[in-house]
Amino acid sequence: MSPIDPVLLFFILGLTAGLLRSELRMPAAVYDLVSMLLLLTIGLKGGVELARQPFADLALQAVAVVAMGLLLPLVAFPVLRYLGRLPRADAASIAAHYGSVSVATYAVAVAYFTRQQVPYEAHMPFLLALLEIPAIVVGVLLARGISRDMRIGVVAHEVFLGKSIVLLIGGLFIGWAAGSDGLAPVKPLFFDLFKGVLALFLLEMGIITASQFGSLRKCGPFLLVFGIAMPLFSSVVGMLLGYALGLSPGGVAMLAILAASASYIAVPAAMRISVPQANPTLSLAASLGVTFPFNVLVGIPLYHAMTVRFLGSG
């Protein structure tokens, strides 16, 4: 087995092509399709497993994970505001990005765990979907001192009916309703092609990430440091929570990865509408330009190793 997962090589190819200003681009409609397939696949996989879980366990995990989603932006905000000296709206918006999750990072983690043959709770996508939302609410509230004319209905629509939430929850529901056997006819498209779809997706993600580097240079070193330090901190929070919830070792590592990931789809869209003062360039430079490549290339194996060591010593 080669030491590096081929899907990561696709990411590095996209990154390199972007940095060299190649004219390589994935058509927007293809990117849409590929990201839809990923979201649905992840939802379906989780949904199948959801039906087998006892409700009480799920409810406890759900509450704990939502609490973590509320807590992480509250930790990030003062750091950004006072250490980073960022304007309130920007600090709130970036904090929301880091409290929420990145489905792409989760998808890479799924590929990594499959390769390493590490089992984990298969209903993890349920927790993933839950983690998307609370940080957005906290971010909007943190910024609200300067945005009183906010249209709550519009924000709620953006948060709950955004593309990624609808596809993820929809996939969970379909998987739950259809069950493993029911999904057999669509398995070739969603499950068998998962790695290939992920590879294409990461190719484009590499190009998009490279396009963030330019704005990152203008933002200064603080966001660079924050973009690495924050996920390291969050991963420890996620790991401790997973341990407290009694998840399997793979599940604990997965929750660490979820906590460490930063959103770049659901949160930017919601923040753009609800906190217009926040500069989207800053938050995307941090979450896409720093944290996403860090997590995908270094973070996932790191958090996994950290969890193994923690559980080994405990």
Partner 1 sequence: MTGTPRKLLTIVTEAALEGLLVKDFESLGARGYTITDARGKGSRGRRDAAWDENRNIRIEILCDAVVAEAIARHLEATYYEHYGMVLYVGEVLVRRAEKF
> Minimal distance in Å, beta carbon 268 to partner 1?
5
Residue 208 binding partner 1, by CB under 8 A: yes
- Would you count residue 87 as binding partner 1 (CB under 8 A)? no
Minimum CB–partner distance for residue 264 and partner 1 (Å): 8
* Token duo for residue 94: 């970036």
Residues 271-300 that bind partner 1 (CB under 8 A): 272-273, 276-277, 280, 284
Binding mask 89-128 for partner 1 (x = CB under 8 A): ----------------------------------------
**CB-count exposure of residue 231 (10 Å: 0-12, 13-18, 19+):** buried
Structure tokens at 171: 């996939």
Could you say which of 100, 128, 204, 294 contacts partner 1 (CB under 8 A)?
204
Smaller CB distance to partner 1: residue 14 or 251?
14
Pick 5 or 204: Cβ nearer partner 1: 204
Chain position carrying tokens 């993933």: 128
Among 211, 224, 237, 248, binds partner 1 (CB under 8 A): 211
Contacting partner 1 within 3-32 (CB under 8 A): 25-26, 28, 31
Q: Can you tell me the distance from the alpha carbon of 139 to that of 24, in angstroms, rounded to the nearest whole number?
A: 35
The closest of 245, 246, 243 to 303, measured between CA atoms, is 243
Alpha helices in the chain (DSSP H): 6-19, 28-50, 55-78, 88-99, 103-116, 124-132, 134-143, 152-160, 163-182, 187, 194-219, 221-244, 249-260, 266-274, 280-286, 292-294, 300-313
List 154, 166, 184, 225, residue binding partner 1 (CB under 8 A): 154
Q: Least separation, in Å, of the C-beta of 281 and partner 1? A: 9
Per CB under 8 A, the segment of 228-236, 250-258, 270-278, 294-302 that binds partner 1 is: 270-278
271 touches 136 (CB < 8 A)? yes
Minimum separation from the CB atom of position 278 to partner 1 (A): 9
| 163 alpha-carbon distance from chain centroid | 14
CA 5 from chain centre, in angstroms, equals 19
Give dist(CA 121, CA 15) in Å, integer.
32
CB of 265 to partner 1, least distance (A): 7
Q: Which residues bind partner 1 (CB under 8 A)?
A: 25-26, 28, 31, 151, 154, 157-158, 163, 204, 207-208, 211, 264-265, 268-269, 272-273, 276-277, 280, 284
